């Protein structure tokens, strides 16, 4: 059975994935594996996952994102979630999934700006050393 693949785009030092459809479990796990592979292959500095189109994030998807953020960080890459709908934010908190290791931004544009900002901080640290 073919699972649906989420396209992962590379722009500069960022990987960008936009989840447009309601994910079933197999495609969610496929997405996590694909994204980790792409981080490794591209040495991306940040991964931006845009959830603007998702109207449900249940504990399974929430946990997948939380795990992904921890795994990406172990590899030296930050995960930025963008475009979370208000209803999704409410249900995530009520479910008790607050995604502590994940950066967030209101939309994709602000997510990219956040990544730039973090990049500058990294450069400052290197310069100071």
- The answer for 43, left when phi > 0, alpha when psi is -120 to 50, beta otherwise, is left
Residues from 3 through 22 that contact another protein (CB under 8 A): 22
Considering beta carbons, is residue 62 or 111 the nearer one to another protein?
62
Helices 59-74 and 25-42, packing angle to 10 deg: 10
Strand-strand pairing, 78-82 and 103-105: parallel
Considering beta carbons, is residue 30 or 104 the nearer one to another protein?
30
Considering beta carbons, is residue 92 or 102 the nearer one to another protein?
92
* By the rule CB under 8 A, 38 interacts with another protein: no
Q: How far apart are CA 78 and CA 94, in angstroms?
A: 25
* By the rule CB under 8 A, 104 interacts with another protein: no
Asked if residue 29 lies in contact with residue 65, where contact means CB atoms within 8 angstroms, the answer is: no
Residues from 45 through 74 that contact another protein (CB under 8 A): 55-60, 63
Binding site for another protein (CB under 8 A): 22-26, 55-60, 63, 85-88, 90-91, 94-97
């Amino acid at each position: 059975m073919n699972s649906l693949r989420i396209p992962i785009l590379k722009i500069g030092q960022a990987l960008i994935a936009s989840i447009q459809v309601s994910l079933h479990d197999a495609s969610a796990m496929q997405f996590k594996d694909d994204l980790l592979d792409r981080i490794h292959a591209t040495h991306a500095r940040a991964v931006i996952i845009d959830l603007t189109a998702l109207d449900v994030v249940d504990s399974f998807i929430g946990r997948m994102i939380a795990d992904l953020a921890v795994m990406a960080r172990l590899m030296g890459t930050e995960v930025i979630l963008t475009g979370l709908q208000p209803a999704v934010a409410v249900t995530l908190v009520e479910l008790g999934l607050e995604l502590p290791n994940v950066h967030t931004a209101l939309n994709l544009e602000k997510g990219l700006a956040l990544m730039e900002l973090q990049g500058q901080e990294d450069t400052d640290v290197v310069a100071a050393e």
